[in-house]
Structure 1
């Protein structure tokens, strides 16, 4: 027990000192002021959650260079397991998404922003950001001073949004259902997204990181959510895609809950959208 407590308490230091040291090639102060409602370098209050310690936010961007898939897994597998313990998201899924979305840690977006999960700014984001071409040109993506903040934000992002709530009814070791569910919920537009995640998990045996992780229900379920279905009346110019962006719900989910077989909308049509009301 003593050994475990000591290990947890110095986890951030070890990653910064041993692993991160050999991968960090440069650091620079972020000079962008956020126009999304907050100050630059604003990060969530991670330490108050009672989870493992993250590196102190020095206000400086730490640039990482990952040499291989194996090095990426070695660097972040333990972090993925701690996130699984706290939030119930399979470590294998987190790692596979990190590998895929970050281009194995070498992608332009990941290198420039330490954003390993392709999470866009979205309404309410108060941290740093950068722009990157994705579904549209010059989209806003979240920027972190250290990749570990990206891992925590990924857990928060999935656990606190209505459209992903059904995933947490799945077993935390059923990576195949999670992979398919993420696509269903609209995490990615790529129709082969589940197959790509499953391929990475099985090729690199990422499922082994799901085994033996004891979930911390007190933390994962500390803020239960209340949901309600609301109705949007279609206006001129509305599309399923624009509604999905407005209400943070996938196109597939809108079609499912409205029993729609096509993407066509009519002015005045009532569309049910699932929205998150509040947290207790």
Structure 2
């Protein structure tokens, strides 16, 4: 009986042991023999060959600042000869300061009053701002004429594309201007005047045919007296200069001489008129226009009255 009991105990212990091993084996993790690929994907790097470099924004270029000198006496002049331009008092004064020495040199060497040379240059060149003066250094509006063999430019004046003298520099223009007056006999009476007689010179230039504008002498005298150009004559002549107060201070812009109204037999020149256009309008030849109006240089001015019949 005791033996049977011991045998039963052994069987129970054996069964418990077997159950323990089975339970332990079922709790072990499953080990796979084939590994699944780890899908660690790298981000795709795209290289663009057409990518343009990013440009840094640029600031717009600043416009150049032009400083214009100011003055309590700043006025505007309209200078009208080979070019019609508007200039300030400062521009005219700067022009005088720049070229007064060459004008005085011409006066000593050739007898042309410095005041007259400066006044004509200011008027004809627009104080150096006119087209002809900038393109050809021609400050006196001198055309080619038959005796000119030097360089030239074309410029619209009394007629389209007329021939004007061209100079290497402004000083050559002043020199040629003096030679021009000295070399033509109809200007001889001018050199018999006193060198400081600027009024006589202004009127004599008009009479000799330098310009056909009836107001030409008045314009020159007005410029001389307004800017006191006669003091440069006094310096050359060694005289004391006493500033004068213009009695008829007629400037180019401020006042024009009163002109009679045209009659049916006359034509008043307006901007854009040339001898050619006027001759076509009234069916008259250019030569006949010249004879009727005593025109020698083909020069006409705005406001001028021309006899057409």
Q: Distance in 2 between matches of 1:156 and 1:140?
A: 19
Indicate yes or no: 2:202 matched with 1:153: no
Q: CA RMSD in A?
A: 2.8
Indicate yes or no: 2:200 matched with 1:177: yes
Give SS of 1:165's match: helix
Q: CA deviation at 1:239?
A: 3.1
Q: Is the 8 A contact 2:103 2:117 kept in 1?
A: yes
Indicate yes or no: 2:249 matched with 1:201: no
Q: Distance in 2 between matches of 1:93 and 1:180?
A: 11
Counterpart of 1:102 in structure 2 is 125
The runs of 5 or more residues in structure 1 that have no matched partner are 1-65, 216-235, 252-261, 265-280
Counterpart of 1:131 in structure 2 is 154
Counterpart of 1:187 in structure 2 is 210
Indicate yes or no: 2:137 matched with 1:114: yes
The 5 Å alignment of 1:241-280 reads 241=290, 245=296
The change in CA–CA distance for 1:142 and 1:109 in structure 2 (over 3 A counts) is same
The change in CA–CA distance for 1:240 and 1:171 in structure 2 (over 3 A counts) is farther
Counterpart of 2:114 in structure 1 is 91
Q: Distance in 2 between matches of 1:104 and 1:118?
A: 12
Counterpart of 1:140 in structure 2 is 163
Q: Which has the larger radius of gyration?
A: 2
Q: Is the 8 A contact 1:185 1:249 kept in 2?
A: no
Q: Is the 8 A contact 1:130 1:143 kept in 2?
A: yes
Q: Distance in 1 between matches of 2:298 and 2:194?
A: 23
Q: CA deviation at 1:212?
A: 3.4
The structure carrying a bigger strand percent of its residues is: 1
Q: Distance in 2 between matches of 1:69 and 1:145?
A: 22
Runs of 4+ in 1 over 2 A off after TM superposition: 236-245, 248-251
What TM-score, normalized by structure 1, do the two folds share? 0.55
Q: Greater relative contact order: 1 or 2 (C-alpha under 8 angstroms, separation 6 or more)?
A: 1
Aligned residues between the structures: 167
The change in CA–CA distance for 1:151 and 1:205 in structure 2 (over 3 A counts) is same
The change in CA–CA distance for 1:237 and 1:204 in structure 2 (over 3 A counts) is closer
Q: Distance in 1 between matches of 2:214 and 2:157?
A: 15
Indicate yes or no: 2:291 matched with 1:239: no
Q: Is the 8 A contact 1:163 1:250 kept in 2?
A: no
What TM-score, normalized by structure 2, do the two folds share? 0.50
